[in-house]
């Protein structure tokens, strides 16, 4: 705007014209301003959608709070109607779903191990039928004692004879070690997932117990403050019930 005013000048002096390069600069500035305007409009639209989502979530939480308040009123009023804790059921359903997925992964891992062991057993039976004396283990690899002897022989200067059987045994040993490491890693990963699920479960239960403790519906043994709150709420409930009862006629 400053450049434009300087080039246009005052009304008394008269109108001035822009050079060609300055007009090109102004056009580029207008294009950049238009792009920025489009970006801002897109941002406003996304923020509006996010605001609608937040409002919908707020309505859900308001309904949840209303439901919890109604349940607390039923409990304090000693209503005989069986109260269904929807939040506890949702929490239990989520926990069971996570455990079900975890068990499915463990079953898949066990099936893969079973197939591997079955193939190793078939190889062992085949080697026995063919009469191969060098197949020392179930998987056809060297045993732990033979591996130890080979390592000691390497230290003493005796190298392993380069034969097709020794090379095959070493390859089988390396494959078995890699598979064992992979299995251990899978077990550790599954254990971490189980610990995470159990940790989330414990955190949810602690949060629920904390809310019940704050409302005075549950207290730890020896917690005098919570017991006093519960006694006060019970006495206030009894007083309100007595006030609501109609007076009896004395004959």
Q: Break the chain into its structural domains and give their ranges.
A: 95-154+165-190
Structure tokens at 29: 């500035």
Q: What is the pTM of this model?
A: 0.38
**Per-residue pLDDT for the chain (251 aa), expressed as one digit of tens each?**
555 555 555 454 455 567 777 888 888 999 999 999 999 999 999 999 999 999 999 888 888 877 776 776 677 665 555 555 666 777 788 888 888 988 888 888 888 888 888 887 887 777 667 655 444 444 444 556 666 676 666 555 556 666 777 777 777 777 777 877 888 888 888 888 888 888 888 888 888 888 777 766 666 555 544 455 555 555 554 544 444 444 444 44
Q: Compute the C-alpha angle 62/65/70, nearest 5°.
A: 125
Residue 83 to residue 237: CA distance in whole angstroms = 19
Strand (E) or helix (H) holding 133: none
User: By the 8 A CB rule, do 74 and 173 touch?
Assistant: no
Residue 204 to residue 65: CA distance in whole angstroms = 17
């Amino acid at each position: 705007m400053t450049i434009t005013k300087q080039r246009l000048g005052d009304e008394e002096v008269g109108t001035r014209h822009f050079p060609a390069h300055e007009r090109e600069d102004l056009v580029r500035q207008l294009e950049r301003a238009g792009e920025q305007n489009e970006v801002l409009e897109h941002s406003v639209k996304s923020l509006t959608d996010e605001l609608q989502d937040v409002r919908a979530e707020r309505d859900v939480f308001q309904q949840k709070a209303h439901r919890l308040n109604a349940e607390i009123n039923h409990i304090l009023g000693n209503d005989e109607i069986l109260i269904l804790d929807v939040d506890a059921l949702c929490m239990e359903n989520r926990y069971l779903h996570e455990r079900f997925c975890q068990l499915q992964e463990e079953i898949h891992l066990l099936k893969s191990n079973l197939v591997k062991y079955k193939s190793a057993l078939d190889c062992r039976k085949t080697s026995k039928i063919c009469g191969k004396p060098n197949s020392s283990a179930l998987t056809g690899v060297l045993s732990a004692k033979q591996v130890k002897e080979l390592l000691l022989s390497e230290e003493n200067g005796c190298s392993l004879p380069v034969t097709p059987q020794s090379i095959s045994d070493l390859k089988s040993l390396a494959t078995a070690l890699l598979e064992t490491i992979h299995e251990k890693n899978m077990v550790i990963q599954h254990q971490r997932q189980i610990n995470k699920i159990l940790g989330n479960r414990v955190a949810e239960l602690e949060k629920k117990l904390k809310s019940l403790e704050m409302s005075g519906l549950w207290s730890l043994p020896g917690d005098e403050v919570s017991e006093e709150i519960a006694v006060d709420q019970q006495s206030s409930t009894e007083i309100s019930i007595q006030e609501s009862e109609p007076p009896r006629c004395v004959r």
